Amino acid sequence: MKPPADLEGSRALVTGGSRGLGLELCRALGRAGARVAFTWAHEPSDAKAARASLEAEGIEALDFQGSVSDSGHVREVVAALEAAWGGVDLLVNNAGLTQVLPISLIDEADWDEVMDTNAKGAFLFSRAVLRGMIRRRAGRILNIGNFSSERLVEAPVHYAASKSALRGLTEALAREVGRYGITVNLLAPGLLEEGLGAMLPQHRIDEYLEQCPLRRLGALPELTRIALFLLSADAAFVTGAKIAVDGGV
């Protein structure tokens, strides 16, 4: 699939971009001609490896360490990109956290950390970039959700709740900012070969595969191709949408 030509020269920010789907999104955006920046929180070695892999493809990326739930960090990242690039055209709220725990073992601090990362972080970064997008009357925001936000499947309750909140944020924000030519959509992956799919015990994966008509887990490139479409001018009339990429679960 050829990358959308209109992404050439776009200014893209991906949260949680140092590994997994986030890194694959950075790579796909860079290949499509966008300038790329990503945030990361915990592992300097992951960020270093991500930069090296992007640079090996001729993609120069800016990176910023900090928590997406820290409003000061968010302001600093967006201010730095406005100074370096003049603004952000494409925001991908990808940073996410989960713990595979039953509710009886979820502490209040666990709940807060998952909700802050998965929902509050998307709110803070969206709010920060929207000032420039509204001024330019253009922009794309893509939130990375999960099939558990509305499918009747077993998932950690704090993770499922945070992803449901992210869908509500997507729909409400799309209605609010559509008048400025800005789209806000949600991409909801099913279980992938990486990420949560690699953390689950085999019996949970088998349960998923039994419910999945395609009888397999998803691959990262299958997500990034759809993400590029939603971030492009080809999707200019798509907003407030949830695109499930879950094999039909």
What's the angle, vertex CA 169, arms to CA 94 and CA 229, rounded to 5? Answer: 50
Asked whether the CA dihedral 69, 75, 77, 81 is positive or negative, the reply is positive
What backbone phi and psi angles, to 5 degrees, belong to 40? -150, 160
Residue 3 DSSP code: P
**DSSP secondary structure string, 172-234?**
HHHHHHGGGTEEEEEEEE--BSSTHHHHS-HHHHHHHHHH-TT-S-B-HHHHHHHHHHHTSGG
Q: Is 159 a catalytic residue?
A: yes
Euclidean distance between CA atoms 166 and 162, whole angstroms = 6
Q: Which one is catalytic: 40, 123, 147, 159?
A: 159
In contact, 53 and 27? CB cutoff 8 Å: yes
Catalytic residues: 159
